Amino acid sequence: MTEPTPKKSALSGALKLVVLFLMIGFWVWFFEWAPMMDLSTRFSHAFERLTGKVTNLAPQSTELSAPVMVNADGCESSLPPNGSQFSYPQAKHQQNKLHSRFYVSNEHIFPMLLILSDPATAERFKVVMVHPRQSSQVQLPAANYDLKVQAGLSWCNLSKGFINGAEVIAPQALEIKGAEVANLRLMPFGDAPADIMFSYSKSLGVIEGRQDQRPEGVGMLNLQRVVGGHYAVEGSINQVPINFLVDTGATITAVSSDFAKHAGVTDCEPYKAQTANGVINGCLGTAREMTIGQFRLKNVKVSYSNGLGNTFLLGMNVIGQFRMEQQGDVMRLTLH
């Protein structure tokens, strides 16, 4: 029998080694790298959506922490959560400007994407997603903004908006001032996505006087909707118990004259209040202490008059100091 030569034996061993390395390489690619390529593609789509033209900010009410799932057509597989906010690069240059709060309530049956733009350049500044029958809030630099709203059912992405949806331009610019809180209600006048009415209102964001700038307390306060569609919360003024109805259209927290007297609010600065029955004359006083749920505030301005009856309204001088999120029949208040 002929013995194999050393040269042939070495060649055979090298060939076996190459085959072994090829098998190991295929195994690693099939079980490890291939799935990662798909995952990498998904992350790439999400990264391009958020950083190609836009940077994801931590929203006031919802923070997106998971990667965005993208379908084969480049559209996202689901709506961004209610309250999701995205800020464009030019917004970074205004971080040092005076900011104020902007509350928006979507009373339509369609989800809506609010697009805020710079009137001078028409460049997008910020977009906000608001689900139907819900609300959210935004911190904005004091300035004027062009506003348009996209509405529909089939969501794609920030660039395309809603597929077969509608885009409605607001009839007036959104004006944000440092000492005011701007409120916007998006209301339907029909069943189509384009059937949107814009209702603006403003309230004071800062009340002059000795009111403390930050309430005391921790956690989240859940307010339930009561008869009439309002939200109610138990509280107190100068340790006298009271039941408030939340009124985002009221600038100042309002109580009756009898309650104010009982609670020891006796100082009176002449004040005119707009009610459903017209303008009434009242007083503007100071409550040494006010509580709503587990939160406590000091030196709070309250208005009181004879025409209010037994309805006590929690106004924006108090609500505006909280982060407000509405979901279904529950309104959640947390500190900023």
Residue 116's pLDDT band (cuts 50, 70, 90): very high
Q: Is residue 216 part of a domain?
A: no
Asked whether residue 156 falls in the same domain as residue 305, the answer is no
Claim to verify: residue 192 and residue 313 sit in the same structural domain: no
Domain for residue 14, yes or no?
A: no
Domain assignment present for 211? no
Domain tally, the chain: 2
5 falls within a domain: no
Answer with the residue of higher pLDDT: 28 or 120.
120
| Sign of the CA dihedral with 62 first, then 68, 71, and 75 last | positive
Same domain, residue pair 185 and 74: yes
pTM score > 0.75 for this model? no
Comparing CA positions, the residue from 212, 294, 284, 224 lying closest to residue 252 is 284
Residues 231 and 140 in one domain: no
Determine, yes or no, domain membership for 269: yes
The reported pLDDT for the residue numbered 234 is 92
Q: Do 190 and 121 fall within a single domain?
A: yes
Q: Are residues 202 and 231 in the same domain?
A: no
Sequence letter at residue 4: P
Cα(first)–Cα(last) distance of the chain, in Å? 90
Spell out the SS3 assignment of 48-111: HHHHCCCEECCCCCCCCCCCCCECCCCCECCCCCCCCEEECHHHHHHCCCCEEEEEEEECCCCC
Residue 282 and residue 308 in one domain: yes
> What's the pLDDT tens digit per position in 308-332?
677 788 987 888 778 777 777 788 8
Question: Is there a single domain that holds both residue 154 and residue 228?
Answer: no
Dihedral-angle region of residue 320 (phi above 0 means left; psi in -120 to 50 means alpha; beta otherwise): alpha
15 domain-assigned: no
The pLDDT, as a whole number, for residue 143 is 87
Spatial neighbors of 167 by CB under 8 A, at least 6 apart, are 148, 149, 150, 161
pLDDT of residue 248 exceeding 70: yes
In a domain, 179, yes or no: yes
Q: Which domain holds residue 325?
A: 221-335
Residue 177 and residue 102: Cα distance in Å, rounded? Answer: 10
Give the model confidence (pLDDT) of 46-76 as tens digits: 333 333 333 232 333 443 433 445 565 678 8
pLDDT reading at 34 higher than 60: no
Q: Tell whether 109 and 190 lie within a shared domain.
A: yes
Residues contacting 307, CB < 8 A, separation 6+: 273, 275, 277, 280, 282
Residue 256 pLDDT more than 70? yes
Domain boundary among 179, 206, 233: 206
Do 197 and 232 reside in the same domain of the chain?
Answer: no
Could you tell me if 76 and 154 lie in one domain? yes
* pLDDT (mean) for 227-243: 88
- Residue 283 belongs to domain with CATH number: 2.40.70.10
Closest C-alpha among 324, 249, 265, 262 to residue 292: 324
pLDDT score, position 290: 93
pLDDT score at 71:
62
Residue 238 lies in a domain: yes
Same domain for 255 and 116? no
Give me the pLDDT at residue 241, please: 94
Tell me if 114 sits within 8 A of 161, measured CB to CB: no
